[in-house]
């Protein structure tokens, strides 16, 4: 019988017109090209990660889900909608501006078959001194205002720009107009979805040299004009040995912790736990084993793992289902 243990995966890397080489700072062996996304823990038709450690090495997350189901993923961790793992964990390197975009909710009629909506959050791992993001609409922007701006090329005048630094966090419910901008590296925890509606893309060509498609009608339909519930916070001064809640949604809870020596934890039968190592290094140990960890690594801890200990000097994110 296979005993539960922390799972580490081979990332799926995605070339993007806005990507670069910054993910190499985490010791990741990224392919040639403009690599914008590392899908670190993924169970999606557009990318499924495979385990690289322990007894299950070589198996995809989808295979582990099918074999161990609720026992490993928890009573809340098994999606009845499409059977997939409910979350998608990414590292993003924004060497250039991303398109201005918006994501749908689960109940949007235009969703592709089998897809979920997309609520997500960002934790800024690294940011150049003048880095910023686009985060929501300015006050009083209506569907009509946004439609007119999309038609006459003045979308940027309708958007809020926010300066960012490492340690900032942004909660982005479906319906929030948003874009990461050049000079930012983030960890992203999101619903397991790959559906994005582009509002504006700076009139630039894609990787194939052709303009990328905009999704005018879908974007106008799913934007939350009265506010989506988006929240942001700086996490400076997080005390060692205490969890600071960064985001809480119907789909995930994300907390930040500073590890300074041994810190005892436990999983719950309701949900798996995901640990994203933002910086530093140390050891993750459990009942019958241990593994070293370093910045950029993302671990999936089965719900039935039970007691575990984070040791070392590091900053981590902990995610689980509410």
Positions annotated as catalytic residues are 198
**Three-class DSSP category at 199:** strand
Taking the C-alpha atoms of residue 28 and residue 11, their distance in angstroms, rounded to an integer, is: 9
Report the relative pairing of strands 298-301 and 168-172 from DSSP bridges: unpaired
Exposed / middle / buried, residue 153 (Cβ in 10 Å: 0-12, 13-18, 19+): exposed
Torsion from C-alpha of 295, 299, 305, 308, nearest 10 degrees: 10
Nearest in space to 320 (alpha carbons), one of 245, 261, 263: 245
**Is 198 within 8 Å of 212 (Cβ atoms)?**
yes
Taking the C-alpha atoms of residue 184 and residue 7, their distance in angstroms, rounded to an integer, is: 27
> Binding site for Zn(2+): residue ranges?
103, 120, 178
Q: Which residues are within 8 A (CB) of 170 and not within 5 positions of it... i.e. 6 or more apart?
A: 121, 122, 124, 133, 135, 178, 230, 231, 232
Nearest in space to 9 (alpha carbons), one of 45, 82, 59: 59
> Binding site: residue ranges?
103, 120, 178
Q: Which residues pair with 317 in a beta bridge?
A: 256, 276
Task: Give the other-Cβ count within 10 Å of 46's Cβ.
Answer: 11
């Amino acid at each position: 019988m296979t005993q539960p243990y922390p799972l580490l995966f081979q990332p799926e890397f995605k070339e993007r017109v806005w990507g670069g080489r910054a993910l190499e700072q985490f010791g990741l062996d990224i392919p040639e090209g403009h690599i914008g996304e590392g899908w670190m823990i993924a169970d999606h038709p557009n990318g499924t990660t495979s385990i690289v450690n322990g007894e299950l090495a070589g198996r995809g997350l989808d295979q582990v889900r099918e074999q161990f189901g609720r026992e490993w993923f928890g009573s809340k961790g098994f999606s009845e909608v499409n059977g997939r793992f409910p979350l998608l964990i990414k590292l993003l390197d924004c060497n250039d501006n991303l398109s201005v975009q918006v994501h749908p909710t689960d109940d949007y009629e235009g969703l592709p078959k089998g897809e979920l909506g997309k609520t997500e959050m960002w934790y800024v791992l690294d940011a150049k001194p003048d880095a910023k993001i686009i985060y929501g609409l300015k006050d009083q922007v209506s569907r009509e205002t946004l439609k007119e701006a999309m038609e006459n090329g003045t979308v940027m005048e309708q958007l809020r720009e926010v300066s960012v630094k490492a340690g900032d966090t942004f909660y982005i419910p479906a319906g929030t107009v948003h874009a990461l901008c050049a000079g930012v590296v983030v960890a992203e925890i999101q619903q397991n979805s790959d559906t994005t509606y582009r509002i504006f893309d700076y009139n630039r060509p894609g990787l194939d040299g052709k303009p990328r498609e905009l999704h005018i009608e879908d974007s106008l339909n799913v934007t939350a004009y009265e506010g989506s519930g988006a929240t942001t916070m700086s996490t400076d001064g997080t005390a060692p040995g205490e969890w600071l809640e960064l985001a809480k949604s119907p789909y995930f809870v994300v907390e930040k912790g500073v590890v300074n020596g041994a810190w005892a934890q436990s999983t719950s039968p309701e949900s798996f736990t995901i640990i994203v190592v933002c910086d530093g290094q140390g050891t993750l140990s459990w009942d019958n084993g241990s593994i070293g960890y370093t910045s950029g690594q993302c671990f999936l801890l089965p719900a039935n793992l039970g007691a575990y200990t984070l040791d070392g000097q590091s900053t981590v994110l902990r995610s689980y289902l509410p």
